[in-house]
Amino acid sequence: MPATYNQCLLYNQLVMPYLDAWMWQKELQTQRVKNPDLNDVLILLEHPPVYTLGKGASSEFIKFDLNESSHEVHRIERGGEITYHCPGQLVGYPILNLARHNQDLHWYLRQLEEVLIRVLAVYKLQGKRIPSLTGVWLEDRKVAAIGIKVSRWITMHGFSLNVCPDMKGFERIVPCGISDKSVASLAEWIPGITCGEVKHHIARCFGEVFDLELIEQSLSGIHQS
């Protein structure tokens, strides 16, 4: 087994248009389907305001006319319902070869939750899981969403953590199709928190949970916004 199997390439991007990140993920996944020996990857970034719908998402959770949206709307191949991304929300896209980790999608979802629960613990916040639902909650309010797509055990899409976003965009949808629980951001518990500081904690906790050494990569020439 090549020594690089315990290494993960880390791309810390600032803000990237959703379509650029989507294309980038698909390229990385396709490359690893063809050549499973390539390194795992973790992309951390923020998006301009955008709504995304999972492949089976229902229109009943959308409170606006899709043809007259002031923000981009994209139906994508991940699981789950509609969600919202915007600056101040950290998005993580792991491109992992689960054949090196555990070929079990439920295990993978729980591991992503564990990364985020550990990040919250850094701030002495107790993130929780809710049985039968995917994501992480603080005081019964959802602060992190997860939606994935896996092809031949290579992952794409991933998780989002509300750090300090403008939450108004969530008012126009039923986030993740969960009508009886509201969404929240970490800034409500930790005023002044920034995505910049949280990124470092996500990278460290991700490495711990997946037993990977993260190697930060240069962004020069790579899908810069």
Catalytic sites, residue numbers? 176
Tokens of 206: 């991700």
Measured CA angle at 64 (ends 149, 183), to 5 deg = 60
Please tell me whether residue 38 adopts helix, strand or coil conformation: coil
Residue 111 backbone dihedrals phi, psi, to 5 degrees: -70, -40
Q: Give CA–CA dist 145/161, Å, rounded.
A: 7
> Is 177 buried (19+), middle (13-18) or exposed (0-12) by CB count in 10 A?
middle
Measured N-to-C along each axis, helices 105-122 and 195-210 cross at an angle, to the nearest 10 degrees, of 130
3-state DSSP percent of the chain in helix, strand and coil, to 5: 35, 30, 35
The count of other CB atoms within 10 Å of the CB of residue 118 is 17
Start-end of H helices in the chain: 18-34, 105-122, 195-210
Count how many residues are written for the chain. Answer: 225
